[in-house]
Amino acid sequence: MANILHIDTSPRGDRSISRALSYEFVTSWKNTHSGDTVTYRDLGRNPVPHVDESWIAAAFTPPDARTPELAEAIKLSDALIDELLAADRYVFGVPMYNLSIPSTLKAYIDQIVRVGRTFVMGEDGYTGLIDSSKKALVITSRGGTFLPGTPYAAYDLQEPYIRTIFGFIGITDVTFIHADSLNLGDDAREKSLAAAKDAIAQVVVNW
Ligand SMILES: Cc1cc2nc3c(=O)[nH]c(=O)nc-3n(C[C@H](O)[C@H](O)[C@H](O)COP(=O)(O)O)c2cc1C
C-alpha cells in the first residue's frame, strides 16, 4: 500500500489539460491499486505563498531557537514537507508557462526545498533527504512542442528544471509524459492527447 501525493498546478479548471490527465492517471491507478491512499493538493486554485523575510530567517534558525513569530512563519512549509515525506509516490500536473513551470509550482518548490529537512550540505556536496526509492510522475501540457529532435528542444526549461530540483532533494526516479502541440491545430492536438493517454495507461501498468 502506497500513499500517493497528487498535485495540480494549473489555475484552469475544466479546461485544463494537465489537470484532466493527472486525474485520469490517478483514477486509473486507484482502479488497480485500491489499497493506496491519495492526498490531493491543488496549487492552481489554492497557491501557497511566496517565501518572505520571516520565512527565510526561520528556515536558517534552529527549531529550538525560533521565536513564536519565526515558528509561525515556517509552519506551512513544515506541514508541506511533512506531507511530501509521508508520500511514497508523486503525481504532478504541470502546464508549461514561458518555457518553464507556473509560479504556483515554483512557490511550492521554494516552500519544500529546505536545508536540514529535504537536503543537507556536507563535505561531499549536496545530499537529498527524500528516500531515492520514491517515484514521481510529471504530466505536462504545452501549447507548442519542445521534444528532443524538434527545432525548439533547447527551449524546454521545464523538464530539466523539474528533474534537477527533484533530484536535488532525492527524488531521482522521475517519469515525464508530455501532452504537447496543444495549440498547433486539431490534428496535432488530438494525436498528442491520444499519445499522452497511451503513455498514462503504460505507466499505470509499469510504475
Ligand atoms: C501564461 C502562459 C504561458 C504559456 N507559455 C507557454 C510556453 O512557453 N510554451 C508552450 O508550449 N505553451 C505555453 N503556454 C500554453 C500552455 O502550456 C497550454 O495552454 C497548456 O495546455 C496549459 O495547461 P493547462 O491546460 O493544464 O491549463 C502558456 C500558457 C499561458 C497561460
Q: Say which CATH number the domain at 140 has.
A: 3.40.50.360
- Mean pLDDT along residues 121-136: 96
Q: Which pairing describes strands 3-8 and 119-122: parallel, antiparallel, or unpaired? A: unpaired
- How many domains is the chain partitioned into structurally? 1
- d(Cα 123, Cα 129) in Å, to the nearest integer? 15
pLDDT for 133: 97
Closest ligand 1 atom to the C-alpha of 95? 23
Backbone torsions φ then ψ of 187, nearest 5 degrees: -65, -50
Compute the mean pLDDT over every residue in the chain, rounded to the nearest whole number: 97
The Å distance, Cα 102 to ligand 1 centre, comes to: 9
Q: Ligand 1, from 15, 96, 157, 182: best to mutate by most atoms within 8 Å of Cβ?
A: 96
- d(Cα 109, Cα 168) in Å, to the nearest integer? 11
- d(Cα 159, Cα 179) in Å, to the nearest integer? 13
pLDDT for 180: 98
Q: What residue owns the CA closest to ligand 1's atom 24?
A: 16
pLDDT for 24: 98
Kindly indicate the confidence band of residue 109, based on its pLDDT and cuts at 50, 70 and 90: very high
In the sheet with 37-42, reading across from the earlier edge strand, the strands are 37-42, 3-8, 89-95, 135-141, 173-179
pLDDT for 86: 98
Q: Ligand 1, from 16, 92, 97: best to mutate by most atoms within 8 Å of Cβ?
A: 97
Which triple of cell numbers denotes residue 41? 493538493
Contacts of 73 (CB under 8 A, 6+ apart): 52, 54, 55, 57, 58
pLDDT for 148: 92
The Å distance, Cα 97 to ligand 1 centre, comes to: 5
Q: Which of 182, 204, 190 is nearest to 16 (CA)?
A: 182
Cβ neighbours of 59 (radius 10 Å)? 20
Kindly indicate the confidence band of residue 118, based on its pLDDT and cuts at 50, 70 and 90: very high
Q: What residue owns the CA closest to ligand 1's atom 30?
A: 97
- d(Cα 190, Cα 106) in Å, to the nearest integer? 29
Kindly indicate the confidence band of residue 49, based on its pLDDT and cuts at 50, 70 and 90: very high
Question: Which DSSP category does 100 fall into?
Answer: B
Domain encompassing residue 107: 3-206
Ligand 1 environment, Cβ below 6 A: 10, 12, 16-19, 95-99, 141-144, 182
* Residues above pLDDT 70, as percent of the chain: 100
- d(Cα 132, Cα 137) in Å, to the nearest integer? 14
- d(Cα 188, Cα 157) in Å, to the nearest integer? 22
Which triple of cell numbers denotes residue 45? 486554485
- d(Cα 58, Cα 65) in Å, to the nearest integer? 9
pLDDT for 162: 98
